[in-house]
Structure 1
Amino acid sequence: MPQNKVQVPRISDAVAASLEKRILEGSLKPGDRLPPERELAAELGVSRPSLREAIQKLASKGMVQSRQGGGTYVTNRLESTFFDPWQDMMGSHPNLREDLLEFRRMLEGQAAEWAAERATDADLQRLTQAFAAMNAAFDADDLERRAATDIDFHQAIGEATHNALIGHLSAALLRLMQDNIRLNLGELKSIPAAISLLKSQHAAIHAAIVDRKPAAARAAAETHIDFVRESLAQSLRSAARRETAERRLNTEFSASSLS
């Protein structure tokens, strides 16, 4: 009677799984370049042909791609499948912003709670670094830097949950909200009390996670998103009023030029 043979995994499959895990957990992010072939093969303890085969497996899944000029880079496929269609619809259906913020409240509240429960020392160190960078950006008059560090802080929380779906959904959601975050911060930068509120809200989230207080972390994150929702609504109303005023001014200027 023939015996079933033990299936020994191919080295390239094991290497591909190892690299895929790094992408899933966020150790390798979209846009990151893989280390040079020689270094990566030595790090993983495999031959370069096995490494090349593994990278080709990931490329066939769309997880990495080679770029002109050399180098293999992580793609944003895990996020773009969510991001791309919703970005198009956001432009056509502005009311989706409110649904998006409602979903963000749910996601970030849960993320903060789990981060407080699950974050490792390395996660907390990374979160604290992101928090410090964000505070420095908020103290400087640099809107782009404020928006970028704000996103980095919230993404660090998402990844500290050690839930791959939350980490990648959070990244996609923050990309969708990037223009709105920039608009909101632009409107608020002229209001010192609002900036102070944002900083205190972020501080409350950071402190609750570092002190490992899950309920407090969730409450702080939800309070922050509630403030963001209201201030963004005000920002959009202000932007609409400015556009209306400019159209009126241009109409009056055109009429006076013709008379």
Structure 2
Amino acid sequence: MPFHPVTPEKLSTAVTRQIEQLILRGILRPGERLPSERELSDRLQVSRPSLREAIADLSQRGLLTSRAGAGVYVADVLGSAFSDALIQLFANHDEAVFDYLSFRRDMEGLAADRAARLGSDTDLKVIATVFARMEAAHHKRNPEDEAALDAEFHLSIIEASHNVVMLHMMRSMYQLLREGVFYNRQIMFRQNITRTMLLDQHRAINDALQSRDGSAARQAVVDHLTYVETCLTQDRKAEAHEAVARQRYERTLAKG
């Protein structure tokens, strides 16, 4: 018969499983510091030896890392999603930028549709809260803050889709975007008209999600990323035209 005796679970195993789930679901994020040993053992209601055993196991498997005098952190495992050679290849070719946007359009459109249908009321409150911060940041005209909130908004939608594979895959993509591998997002916030358009597009996404209209949410994401693609295409053309204009100018000076 396919039955085995039921044995009590070790406390350290239960702690390990809980921390694993928090990392898997994106609640504990790469680089985030865990509470102190005393605080964590109190929260989990386990002994410190059991907690230490769990942390040692998770550290050995590369999910946690200890920093001398600073505590225990969630390991930054996102970098392992792409090899250094592939990251450099992305950075050197514009083709990767537009393939990246196409990929985002597909994935985030799907995530928005899922979030509208499957996200909890609290998921939608998180998205609405991030958008409210975007509106507040719009008046301060700080490109770094606006770019950071833009990423947080999109990732909150992916979190609300409740697909952990998509979550970690897209987090790794956003990590490269933050590092400027695909393009500098601050370019998008240079002109006031562009900034206002971007805010309006995020408002449309948020409104559709709050209404739980999956089709409208997906379309709003597609429209937004198509606009981003158009802006970047125009920026690339403007750079190319300026390079030609400088050559003509240098020739004019040489003839004078």
TM-score (norm 2): 0.87
Could you tell me whether the CA contact under 8 Å between 2:176 and 2:182 is conserved in 1? Answer: no
- Residue aligning to 1:190: 191
Amino acid at match of 2:107: L
Classify 1:110/1:18 alpha carbon distance in 2 versus 1 (closer, same or farther; 3 Å): same
Which portions of structure 1, spanning 4 or more consecutive aligned residues, are displaced by more than 3 angstroms? 3-9, 83-86, 180-185, 239-253
Could you tell me whether the CA contact under 8 Å between 1:137 and 1:146 is conserved in 2? Answer: yes
Q: 2:251 & 2:16 partners in 1: Cα distance?
A: 62
Q: 1:26 & 1:99 partners in 2: Cα distance?
A: 26
1:196 to partner: Cα distance: 2.4
Query: What runs of 5+ residues in structure 1 fail to find an aligned partner?
Result: none
Could you tell me whether the CA contact under 8 Å between 1:83 and 1:175 is conserved in 2? Answer: no
- Residue aligning to 1:177: 177
1:132 aligned onto 2:150: no
Superposition RMSD in Å: 2.7
Q: 1:104 & 1:75 partners in 2: Cα distance?
A: 25
Q: 2:248 & 2:33 partners in 1: Cα distance?
A: 50
Could you tell me whether the CA contact under 8 Å between 1:83 and 1:173 is conserved in 2? Answer: no
- Residue aligning to 2:19: 19
Amino acid at match of 2:59: A
Could you tell me whether the CA contact under 8 Å between 2:100 and 2:182 is conserved in 1? Answer: no
Classify 1:23/1:39 alpha carbon distance in 2 versus 1 (closer, same or farther; 3 Å): same
Classify 1:190/1:43 alpha carbon distance in 2 versus 1 (closer, same or farther; 3 Å): same
Query: What runs of 5+ residues in structure 2 fail to find an aligned partner?
Result: none
Q: Deviations over 1:152-181 (max 9, x none)?
A: 111111111111112112212222223278
Amino acid at match of 2:17: A
Q: Deviations over 1:198-227 (max 9, x none)?
A: 111101110111111111111111111111
Q: 1:247 & 1:34 partners in 2: Cα distance?
A: 56
Instruction: Give aligned pairs, total.
Output: 252
Q: 1:60 & 1:248 partners in 2: Cα distance?
A: 61
Q: 2:135 & 2:129 partners in 1: Cα distance?
A: 10
Could you tell me whether the CA contact under 8 Å between 1:83 and 1:176 is conserved in 2? Answer: no
The equivalences for 1:48-197 within 5 A come to 48-77=48-77, 79-85=78-84, 86-178=86-178, 179=180, 183-192=184-193, 194-197=194-197
Q: Deviations over 1:106-141 (max 9, x none)?
A: 110011111111222221221111101112222322
Q: 1:47 & 1:32 partners in 2: Cα distance?
A: 23
Amino acid at match of 1:136: A
1:195 to partner: Cα distance: 2.4
TM-score (norm 1): 0.86
Q: 2:169 & 2:222 partners in 1: Cα distance?
A: 17
Amino acid at match of 2:94: P
Could you tell me whether the CA contact under 8 Å between 1:104 and 1:173 is conserved in 2? Answer: no
Q: 2:27 & 2:124 partners in 1: Cα distance?
A: 15
Could you tell me whether the CA contact under 8 Å between 1:113 and 1:218 is conserved in 2? Answer: yes
1:239 to partner: Cα distance: 3.5
Q: 1:240 & 1:42 partners in 2: Cα distance?
A: 60
Could you tell me whether the CA contact under 8 Å between 1:22 and 1:28 is conserved in 2? Answer: yes
1:94 to partner: Cα distance: 2.8
Could you tell me whether the CA contact under 8 Å between 2:15 and 2:54 is conserved in 1? Answer: yes
Q: Deviations over 1:30-76 (max 9, x none)?
A: 11100111111111121111111111111112111111322111122
Could you tell me whether the CA contact under 8 Å between 1:130 and 1:149 is conserved in 2? Answer: yes
Q: 2:56 & 2:246 partners in 1: Cα distance?
A: 54
Q: 1:242 & 1:187 partners in 2: Cα distance?
A: 19
Percent of aligned pairs with the same amino acid:
36
Could you tell me whether the CA contact under 8 Å between 2:188 and 2:195 is conserved in 1? Answer: no
Could you tell me whether the CA contact under 8 Å between 1:117 and 1:214 is conserved in 2? Answer: yes
